[in-house]
Structure 1
Amino acid sequence: MSDPKKHCCPYEGCKAAFNRPYRLTQHLLVHNNVKAYACCEENCCKSYTSKSHLERHINIVHRRYDEDVIYSCPTCQNKYANRQNLKRHIKIHHNLRIPFSCDSCNIDFKKKHQLSAHMYIHTGIKAFSCEICSKEFVTLLEKKKHMRCHKNYKCSECPQIFKQWSKYQAHLKSDHESKEEIAGTHSENAQV
């Protein structure tokens, strides 16, 4: 079951909707006429909103048929004008699993969700927010690290409360008992 397309284009008359915020951000470049990927060929003024569109332009317009084609199949050595055609060929003819690639930096991922999470780095969209303080984060890992600051650790021997596990551990060690006993009795009931 696919995600509902909950990220809708705000432009009047445009019905584009996406299941990932970074896809909407990429789509908005079209409306804002932001074309960050410019062709470097002499006497060519073309520019595009995505790297893959620029690559397609270069391969179609500027490459001669007899030039070396950089996308060749590692199994059968067939050559293709762009990466998408090569991936399609491999998937159809060799039945191999194709990794998911980032169009911005060419990093490959084994799973689609990994690529989706990675794309937030390029868009700057802070898609992960703390449910307690509403602080926003680009990656889930950043959010998880932040969530630790909302936990309190109450000492079972005295009324002190600590925001950090390491400070709680140091308190137990220095004020109440030996290191061996800390691991067993206090840690299970410490979190408040």
Structure 2
Amino acid sequence: MNKKPRTGPRIRITRTRTRKADEFDEKKYIFPCQYCRLKFTTNHHYLRHMTSNHEVQQKAATFECNDCQIVFNKKSNLDMHCQTQHQIKSKLKCESCAVTFKSRYCLRRHLKLKQVLAENSCLKCQKKFTSKDGLAKHVKNKHSNKAVIFECQLCSLKFKAEESLRSHLNRIHKRL
């Protein structure tokens, strides 16, 4: 048999069977295609289907605001519009930075974080840390008076702490 070679990604749709032979469990299919009748169990399969089968429709798609009927070409732009223009303004507000919060818990968490950052602030460069250990490590590595002695053999960068050199090697050169 001469079969034409397939172009594009292969899409396999898996369906979970219920007790009846020809009936599918619809609860598993939470990603329906808006252009055709296919449904998918994972977001990954849905996105792969959309990019391989409905790219033209997606480029021409528009997203309309339900409140003021402004039309956007991207869903993310519509989401941002709704957040900034139509969301109910919260009365829970941080006095120092004017950020608003949806609950007292979120405001308290924000204030606690600000307090911790203020308590763990470097006196020399004002960099803030979430822990005393992080601040101590920073002061030791960045502000100690000892001479630079740890040098990277690959790029000649110099460090005050061996731990900083190891971190550099792992991040930049992917080496231990």
Q: What is the TM-score when the length of structure 1 is the normalising length?
A: 0.23
**Which structure: larger Rg?**
2
Q: What is the TM-score when the length of structure 2 is the normalising length?
A: 0.25
